[in-house]
Chain A
Amino acid sequence: MDIPIIFDKSWQEGFLKRLEEDGPWSNWDLYDLANQAEKQLLVPEFKGLVAPKFLVNFTPLEHQIETARRVVEEMNGKAILADEVGLGKTIEAGLILKEYMIRGLVKKVLILVPASLVSQWVKELNDKFHIPAVAFKKSYPWDQMDCIVSSLDTAKKSPHRETILEQSYDMIIIDEAHKLKNHKTKNYEFAQSLKKKFCLLLTATPIQNKIEEVFNLVSLLKPGHLGSYQEFVDKYKNKHSYNDVDLKNLIAKVMIRNLRKDTGVEWTKRHVETVYIEFSKEERDLYDYISSLRQEHSGIVNSAFSFLTLQREACSSKEAVYVTVKKMMEQSESPLKDSFFETVLQKIQQITKNSKAEKAVELIKEIDDKVIIFTEYRASQLYLQWFLKQHGITSVPFRGGFRRGKKEWMKELFENHAQVFIATEAGGEGINLQFCSHIINFDLPWNPMRLEQRIGRIHRYGQEKDVHIYNFAIKNTIEEHILHLLYEKIDLFRRVIGELDEILARLEFGSMEDHMIDIFKRSASVGEMKVKLDNLASMVELAEMMREENEHATAGDSKLS
């Protein structure tokens, strides 16, 4: 067989030169040590993993090693790693990268991750894997460092973009790759143009709603694996695609998804408690006023949805309501707006306390340990920060908009100095806080996925204690309805992470959030809302039954479900 054989001649030149110049020569010991060293680094077999031998600071879990082995041996180094949240996808990627580096197959690496995770990746690769990864800085040119970690947002911007696209990478790793599901975005187009020999895409939510998204993700990794776009759409568009065995098998060839229940890892327990809170008379007044307007469709603002937002905000803090109302008034041209604005202001001024915040302080003192508070509203976040300070409780704020350095700094402050971490929704993704085991959901998002992500910040690999989650809900408000659905009907909080998205995907059900908005926006009465919520819950139940049946039917089948 005709295989190119390349004989490196660089040694010979040096040798002939030494012969001519009569030295210098090495001594026997060093000569022999050089041989020993090189023999130690030889990898005598194609198969198997040598990377674990190089790790001493930690021992990877069995499913992580098995995943790395399959990616290297069976998937030829191109894979979607889609473990459920918290099973250690970073570890798997690190293992694979290390294996290739030891074998000398990979040298130049680009790792694209959310900005808030850059430092964490750099630290893990260095500490756990002894891979000299660096975070991108202006002083480290793209073409001169071998292993760079950067945010996708930085990388895709000029002039970085141009330099990066000139490089030939041996391996590209993209974390949170579900952000690349839409092939029309700049992110996707950028990722597609990268030159890459091996590639790992990491995502916890590979399948959400649209079958095209799976196509886009796989085509980024291995163009043509699912055929051309047209072919794919013709074949799968109108079927219950997630049950299609052919498609499943095809996807299983490029994707590994470990589920918690299969890993044999013992997870700490999750305790969920709903804390019902009564409004004060003044708070109730404000809420009722807003609700009454919504019923009347007063035309002060165009969208009924805005009132819905106001209702939810009234359950959080008067500050949140104020900010929104002020903005609405600036945009509104209704003649009634002045009287509406005045009434709301008046009602806000009547309010002397925030019942939820008081409950939070009481609870934090009782917990007497680190606590994360999640709120959807920035105004509530600011208020809470002030309010906790009044009660001598130290806290740090956290928002998605913080720069990388600030995020790290806030995390460190929380870990070492402050008792409470107050995060807004956008801050929920991409930061790991497993040193803390209490979460207060000061208000609730409508998208259950976001709730999972919140909980996933602490209930993950590395958490040693049982996790406590407190859901705050004001009695007799829209909040109570939401919680009722999520908690009692769908039993969301008891589920393991990652289960619900699969259930919904199976049903080709659309986004949970869309359903929620629809229900709360279009329902004419509380009665109608409840009926609709019940329907939604039954659909989820049905999907779950289908899932279980399917599991029985394909027991022992691939891990993709």
Chain B
Amino acid sequence: MQQQEIQSFLESFFTATGCQIEKNLPGELTVQLTIDMDKALMNRPFYWHYIEKTGGIPNPMKLTLFTDFSKKGKKKGEWIHFGSNRLHQIFKTARQMGSYIRLYEKARGGKSRQIPLDPWLCVNMKISYQCHLKKDHYRSIGLNLINGAMMENFHQEVSKIKNQLSPKIPDFCFTLSPLIKVPSGLRRIEQFIIKGIEQEEHQWAEEARKKWQEDINLLEKFYENDVEKTVNYFNEMKAIQEQYEPKINISIINGGIFYLTRERFFHV
């Protein structure tokens, strides 16, 4: 992530959380935090506890962040970069606050022509392939809960029409109730992903299992003269299992329901 990208990420984040951006210069951002954001980011529970107990006037902090290295030290503020804890705290906050969504397409209907909207279930996922090494894949799947159509890169596609989405159901539109219930829709997506993974080549896992077996053999050799196996032997055996055992973890980053016109993703 380049410093400029970080700055624009921060800008969007603070705007989206309702904080006032007081200064927005290249490489420098000053924000007046809201009470909620102060609580989320500034790590001063005792202050907030005190204010709430005494009924004092809350005074949320201002935060100045520099993304331009040359400004560091000249003024008061924090230097923020891809590795800094502050950025990761903000990432985490964004994840917590952006977990679930429900939006409607702003279709233009009329009194005489009411427009039906299809429910799409969307799930954005991280798939981690893990042994002694690890890699992650990102998948975004949308499922039409009326006709069962499934769509890859759903998030990317829906981003293209983000300006036509509204949190409230627009006038002269109505939602179709799902033929596929949400829990079973979630199961379909899960099955679809798992099936796909099962069909992939898993050379990495074979290699990991081979290494695992090699280390087991070494360990057996090392303890071969012990009549009774020691605690250390079992500990080591468990440790190398944790080190090498291949597994795949799937976690959902976020997702939700999008009500869209039938034509929107008609091609699917």
Q: Spell out A's residues near B (CB within 8 Å).
A: 1, 3-8, 11-12, 14-16, 18-19, 23-47, 53-56, 72-73, 76-78, 103-105, 129-130, 132, 168, 192-193, 195-198, 219, 222-225, 227-228, 230-231
Contact = CB atoms under 8 A, between A and B. Distances in A.
Given A130-B85, A196-B239, A224 B97 contact: no
Contacts of A34: 94-95, 97-99, 253-254
A28 B238 contact: no
Interface in B4-44: 9, 12-13, 15-17
Given A29-B15, A33-B9, A223-B223, A1 B137 contact: no
B253 A30 contact: no
B138 A39 contact: yes
B78 interface: no
Contacts of A11: 99, 251-252, 254-255
A4 B124 contact: no
Instruction: Tell me which of B83, B126, B224 has the highest count of chain A C-beta atoms within 10 A of its own C-beta.
Output: B83
B69 interface: yes
A302 B110 CA distance: 113
Given A37-B91, A195-B238, A223-B236, A130 B83 contact: yes
A33 B99 CA distance: 10
B194 A27 contact: no
Contact of B239 (A15, A37, A197): A197
A30 B243 contact: no
Given A15-B100, A16-B183, A35 B248 contact: no
Nearest to B97: A30
A104 B135 CA distance: 10
Contact of B253 (A38, A55, A104): A38
A191 to B, nearest CB: 11
A27 B16 contact: yes
B221 A23 contact: no
Contacts of A231: 221
Interface string B230-268: 011001101100111011111111111100000000000
Interface in B116-138: 124, 126, 128-130, 132-138
Contact of B100 (A5, A25, A129, A130): A25
B106 interface: no
B153 to A, nearest CB: 12
A504 B95 CA distance: 58
A29 B94 CA distance: 10
Given A29-B12, A192-B232, A197 B99 contact: no
A196 B237 CA distance: 10
Contacts of B220: 224
A38 B128 CA distance: 13
B113 interface: no
9 contacts: A14-B99, A14-B100, A30-B94, A32-B162, A40-B1, A40-B82, A54-B83, A129-B83, A227-B222
Nearest to B203: A1
Interface string B196-207: 011000101110
Contacts of B215: 222, 224
B10 to A, nearest CB: 10
A227 B192 CA distance: 47
A5 B99 contact: no
A3 B247 contact: yes
A3 B249 CA distance: 10
B155 interface: yes
A225 B90 CA distance: 44
Contacts of A73: 133
